Structure 1
Amino acid sequence: MTATAPARHLPPPAAPALFRHLLRSEWIKLWSLRSTPGVLGVGGVVVTGICVNAARSNADRLDRGPIPGAGAGTASEPAPALFAFDVLGTAFVDPAWQLLMVLAACLGAAALSGEYATGLARTTFAAVPDRRSVVAAKAVVVTAVLLVFGACVALTSFAATQALLRDHGGLSLSDPGAARAVVASALLAPVCGLAGMAAGAVVRHAAGAAVAVIGVLLLLPALFQGDTYRWVRETGHLLPLDAWETLVRDPALPVVEKYPAGVAEAWAVLGGWGVAGLAVAVAVVRHRDV
Structure 2
Amino acid sequence: MTALASLNTVPPATEFRPRFRDLTAAEWIKTRSLRSTPIAYGVTALAVLGFNLGVAYDTYTYWTARTAADRAQFIQDGIPLQHAFSSNAAVVMMLALGAIGALTVVGEYSTGTIRTTFSAVPARGAVLAAKAAVLAAVSTVFGLLLATASFFGTQAILGAREAGIDIGHPGALQVLLGSALSAPVCALAGFALGALIRQTASTMIATLTVLLILPMFLTDGRYLSALLGHATPYQAWMRLADPGYTAGEFPWTTAGAWSVYAGWAVAAVVVAMVAVRRRDQ
* C-alpha separation in 2, matches of 1:185 and 1:121: 32
Q: What residue number does 1:91 align with?
A: 84
Shift of residue 230, structure 1, vs aligned partner: 2.5
Shift of residue 161, structure 1, vs aligned partner: 0.5
Contact 1:153 1:186 survives alignment (8 Å):
yes
For the pair shown, which has the larger CA radius of gyration, 1 or 2? 1
Q: What residue number does 1:194 align with?
A: 188
| Equivalent residues in 2 for 1:220-235, closer than 5 Å | 220-227=214-221, 229-235=222-228
Q: What residue number does 1:48 align with?
A: 49
SS of the aligned residue for 1:153 comes to helix
SS of the aligned residue for 1:87 comes to helix
Q: Deviations over 1:170-209 (max 9, x none)?
A: 1211111111111111111111111011110111012221
Q: What residue number does 2:271 align with?
A: 280
Q: Aligned match of 1:143 in 129, 132, 136? A: 136
- Alignment of 1:101 with 2:94, yes or no, is yes
Contact 1:114 1:205 survives alignment (8 Å):
no
Which deviates further from its counterpart, 109-118 or 164-173? 164-173
Q: Deviations over 1:76-102 (max 9, x none)?
A: xx9996898711011111111111111
* C-alpha separation in 2, matches of 1:80 and 1:243: 29
* C-alpha separation in 2, matches of 1:185 and 1:260: 21
Q: What residue number does 1:213 align with?
A: 207
Contact 1:87 1:171 survives alignment (8 Å):
yes
* C-alpha separation in 2, matches of 1:157 and 1:80: 23
CA 20–82 in structure 1, closer or farther in 2 if over 3 Å, else same: closer
Which deviates further from its counterpart, 118-127 or 234-243? 118-127
* C-alpha separation in 2, matches of 1:175 and 1:137: 38
Amino acid at match of 1:202: L
* C-alpha separation in 1, matches of 2:114 and 2:236: 34
CA 204–30 in structure 1, closer or farther in 2 if over 3 Å, else same: same
Segments of structure 1 that go 5 or more residues without pairing to the other structure are 67-71
* C-alpha separation in 2, matches of 1:126 and 1:254: 52
- Normalising by structure 2, we get a TM-score of 0.89
Q: Deviations over 1:93-114 (max 9, x none)?
A: 1111111111111111111111
* C-alpha separation in 2, matches of 1:80 and 1:41: 36
Shift of residue 57, structure 1, vs aligned partner: 0.7
Q: What residue number does 1:20 align with?
A: 21
Alignment size in residue pairs: 274
CA 15–240 in structure 1, closer or farther in 2 if over 3 Å, else same: same
* C-alpha separation in 2, matches of 1:145 and 1:247: 22
CA 17–41 in structure 1, closer or farther in 2 if over 3 Å, else same: same
Shift of residue 273, structure 1, vs aligned partner: 0.7
Segments of structure 2 that go 5 or more residues without pairing to the other structure are none
Q: Deviations over 1:232-282 (max 9, x none)?
A: 122211100000110111x3x362744332111001011111111111001
* C-alpha separation in 2, matches of 1:50 and 1:209: 26
Q: What residue number does 2:237 align with?
A: 244
CA 31–205 in structure 1, closer or farther in 2 if over 3 Å, else same: farther
* C-alpha separation in 1, matches of 2:71 and 2:171: 28
- Alignment of 1:130 with 2:119, yes or no, is no
Amino acid at match of 2:238: E
* C-alpha separation in 2, matches of 1:8 and 1:99: 63
Contact 1:59 1:168 survives alignment (8 Å):
no
- Alignment of 1:32 with 2:26, yes or no, is no
Q: What residue number does 2:280 align with?
A: 289
Higher helix share: 2
Contact 1:110 1:200 survives alignment (8 Å):
yes
Contact 1:44 1:153 survives alignment (8 Å):
yes
Moved over 3 A (4+): 6-14, 78-85
* C-alpha separation in 2, matches of 1:82 and 1:278: 41
What CA RMSD, in Å, does the superposition of the two structures yield over aligned residues?
A: 2.6
